Amino acid sequence: MTRTTILGCALLAALTGPAAAQDTAAPASPAQAKAPAADCPVAEFAMGLRFQQQSAEIRALQLQAYNIATEKLDAAVKDAADPSKLAVVTDLDETVIDNTPLLARDLADCHTYDAWDTWLPWERDGTPTLIPGAREFLDHADSLGVAIRYVSDRADEQKDHTLATLTELGLPQVSPETVLLLGPPKVERREIVAADHRIVLLLGDTLHDFDARFRKTPLEEQKATVAEEAGKWGTEWIVFPNAAYGAWSEATLAEWDAEPVIEEW
């Protein structure tokens, strides 16, 4: 059996094996109950998506990120003469709202979900849920008088649907002026916010949520920029984990070059 075949079997088992039977976090819909065919080219996403949607660890990481954001925001407000001049800029998808049911449906249908051709119907009719800690943090920022700006690459022509979704989820400061969707690059939308506010925190799950140097650049350059900006992670920039999709998804894995040795414990 080749290594590729072994990996494919392991990923399929991740969806259909005992772990799936033990998962009680959310009842499976008919689409989620289906497993991708063994020869499904997108089956490789299964383990990352299972981690993103169902693991306790992802919830711990998300809460950790919002706890850090709260601590840093409180410190910024304490030092500010006028908190209303401060702003928090946050991404939406996989930072404030969870879209994994769409991805799980597409995976079960063996549809490559990061082609984004199923996203527009989801924006209109989907029912995302909140990332743990999101509403508490945003309500806290609102209570402090800090401006909140939602900067997302959701479709601007469907802005009314996104506004309705955010309002239904009970998020604060949701309006056409505070929700800045796809059009100019995110760096330009952040500059709009910075024109009349001091941005004290950026929150996101992909690195171009923080700096234009991460947008459409090779992974090695992104890694170098991450190291170069080491002091900003967890202080000004709060990054959320996303194992479901990203610029890294086609990266080659680094393997140990030793021959496999199988030993029982």
The radius of gyration computed from the CA coordinates of the chain, to the nearest angstrom, equals 20
Q: Are 118 and 102 in contact (CB under 8 A)?
A: yes
Beta strand 97-98 pairing with 129-130: antiparallel
Whether residue 250 contacts residue 219, with contact meaning beta carbons closer than 8 Å, is answered with no
Q: For position 32, what pLDDT does the model report?
A: 46
Torsions phi, psi for 39 (to 5 deg): -95, 15
Of 125, 182, 135, 130, the residue nearest 156 (C-alpha) = 182
- 86-90 and 198-204 beta bridge pairing: parallel
Distance from chain centroid for Cα 157? 22
DSSP state of 243: -
pLDDT, residue 39, reads 79
pLDDT of 37 reads 61
Residue 175: how many other CB atoms lie within 10 Å: 10
Confidence at residue 38, expressed as pLDDT on a 0 to 100 scale? 62
Q: What is the pLDDT of residue 114?
A: 86
- CA distance to 49, 116, 117, 157, 253, per residue, from 113 (Å): 11, 6, 7, 21, 21
So what's the pLDDT on residue 74? Answer: 98
Question: What pLDDT is attached to residue 36?
Answer: 59
pLDDT at 41: 82
* pLDDT tens-digit profile, the chain (265 residues): 433 333 333 333 333 343 333 333 444 444 444 555 667 988 999 999 999 999 999 999 999 999 999 999 999 999 999 999 999 999 999 999 999 999 999 999 999 888 899 999 999 999 999 999 999 999 999 999 999 999 999 999 999 999 999 999 999 999 999 999 999 999 999 999 999 999 999 999 999 999 999 999 999 999 999 999 999 999 999 999 999 999 999 899 999 999 999 999 9
pLDDT at 148: 98
Q: Quick check: helix, strand or coil at residue 29?
A: coil
Taken in order of first residue, the domains within the chain and their CATH numbers are: 42-239 (3.40.50.1000)
According to the model, what pLDDT value does residue 25 have?
A: 40
For the chain, the straight-line distance linking the first and the last C-alpha, in angstroms and rounded, comes to 23
**Whole-number pLDDT of residue 42:** 87
pLDDT of the residue at 56? 98
Residues 77 and 250: their CA atoms lie apart, in Å, by: 41
d(Cα 104, Cα 30) in Å, to the nearest integer?
Answer: 11
Polymer length of the chain: 265
HSE, CB side, 13 Å, CA atoms: give it for residue 162: 27
Alpha-helical runs (H) found in 26-55: 30-33, 46-54
Q: Give Cβ neighbours of residue 79 (< 8 Å, ≥ 6 apart).
A: none
Distance CA 11, CA 43 (A): 7
Give, for 202, the enclosing helix (H) or strand (E): strand 198-204
* pTM attached to this predicted model: 0.85
